[in-house]
Amino acid sequence: MTSLDELPIRDDLRGKKPYGAPQDLVPVRLNVNENTHPIPEDVATDIVRSLARAVLGANRYPDREFTELRTALADYLGHGVTAENIWAANGSNEVLQHVLQAFGGPGRRVLGFPPTYSMHSIIAGGTGTTWVTGERGPDYVLTEADVVGAIRQTRPDVVFLCSPNNPTGTPLDIDVIAAAYDATDGIVLVDEAYAEFASGPSALTLLEGRPRLLVSRTMSKAFAFAGIRLGYLAADPAVIDALRLVRLPYHLSALTQAAAVAALAHADEMLAMVDEIIVQRDRMIEALPALGYEPLPSAANFVLFGGVADPHALFTKLYAEGVLIRDVGIPGHLRVTAGTEAETSIFLDTLARLSGR
Ligand SMILES: *Cc1c(COP(=O)(O)O)cnc(C)c1O
């Protein structure tokens, strides 16, 4: 076998690292912000019935326009959104890739505000879009001045705003999003992967009259559906037409469509654990200072905490005890997902023991 370096790979991919959150089967896995509560059995049964019907027709290509799914997603979102406003793909990562294939690409720039979701810059790289960055203020908060200043300075074709932001949990005021929109002629995409955990208004409330605003969501987090791979976006119908130009035909399999439609019919039950997860998130924020750590405010289902003398060492010690959290590469910090009450207890108890409290 030859090595990657010896292959005639694109020059701009040389030396890059793939996304690589560990997937180890330790007892307590709180590292990728999944909903750790299993899918309710009656919903699972309904999904399987729907999959069985889809399998019987699997000799044919699936509905390329995934019309039933788009209607179900529009109903779920509300805010006057209809099926014509909806796009979907195999995870919101693929949705973001479609967005950069259509609106980014070689010779174009996408602006982001690190520390933010690591896939944003990786998808930029994969689509040949130049990743440019702006600064966040104290505690990672983004103000109108920060965003507008960075847009004027970098003149991006696409702006990625993450609300609430991963990995910091920081919410983003919708006035900042509106100001970003007014400051650019380009696309403004708001990644709302964690919107169901946040209490402020969604960027969906800004869609009316803003044809360059895109709001992406996912079924991977609050909706407890990470394994199915379904992300989506709401925007002006013209944007959806642009995304049709770059998607591969039949990109959403009949099984994915059937599973997602069936799950959306049980949205209330699928989201029943969100309030409980918020309780566990707030419990960690309350408990961490007594253990000597500094949690940041979070509007998502995870907590970033500072005051960690050696993040890699603490990560490794927790891992050895069967608790997997995330070293996101921010000096002095680690990130932990809010799991079930039992998982949260194990995390806090183990951390207390390791920290000598
Ligand atoms: C987890 C996450 C996603 C979700 O990706 P999927 O491909 O839908 O699983 C998107 N954006 C952010 C900020 C995330 O943290």
Q: Domain coordinates of the chain in residue numbers?
A: 20-39+268-355, 41-265
Please state which CATH number belongs to domain 41-265. Answer: 3.40.640.10
Residue 309 has pLDDT above 90, yes or no: yes
Task: Name the fold adopted by 20-39+268-355.
Answer: Aspartate Aminotransferase, domain 1 (3.90.1150)
Summarised one tens digit per residue, pLDDT across range 153-203 is 999 999 999 999 999 999 999 999 999 999 999 999 999 999 999 999 999
Non-local CB neighbours of 68 within 8 Å, separated by 6+ positions = 257, 261
Which residue matches tokens 């997997």?
Answer: 324
Question: Best substitution site from 120, 166, 216, 229 to test ligand 1's pocket, by max atoms within 8 Å of Cβ?
Answer: 166
Non-local CB neighbours of 245 within 8 Å, separated by 6+ positions = 102
What is the Å distance from ligand 1's center to 167 Cα? 11
Alpha helices in the chain (DSSP H): 41-56, 67-77, 92-103, 118-126, 144-154, 174-183, 237-244, 254-264, 267-270, 274-287, 311-320, 341-354
Q: How far does CA 23 lie from the centroid of its chain?
A: 17
Q: Give the sign of the dihedral formed by CA 57, CA 94, CA 226, CA 24.
A: positive
Summarised one tens digit per residue, pLDDT across range 50-94 is 999 999 999 999 999 999 999 999 999 999 999 999 999 999 999
How many CA within 13 A on the CB side of residue 84? 5
Same fold, 20-39+268-355 and 41-265: no
| Ligand 1 atom with least separation from CA of 93 | 7
Q: What are phi and psi of 155, to 5 degrees?
A: 40, 65
pTM: 0.97
What is the Å distance from ligand 1's center to 21 Cα? 13
What is the Å distance from ligand 1's center to 325 Cα? 17
Q: Report yes or no: 240 and 85 within 8 Å, Cβ to Cβ.
A: yes
Q: Report residues whose beta carbon is within 6 angstroms of any ligand 1 atom.
A: 33, 91-93, 117, 162, 166, 191, 193, 218, 220-221, 226, 231
Residue 25 has pLDDT above 90, yes or no: no
Question: Best substitution site from 100, 119, 160, 303 to test ligand 1's pocket, by max atoms within 8 Å of Cβ?
Answer: 119
| Ligand 1 atom with least separation from CA of 231 | 8
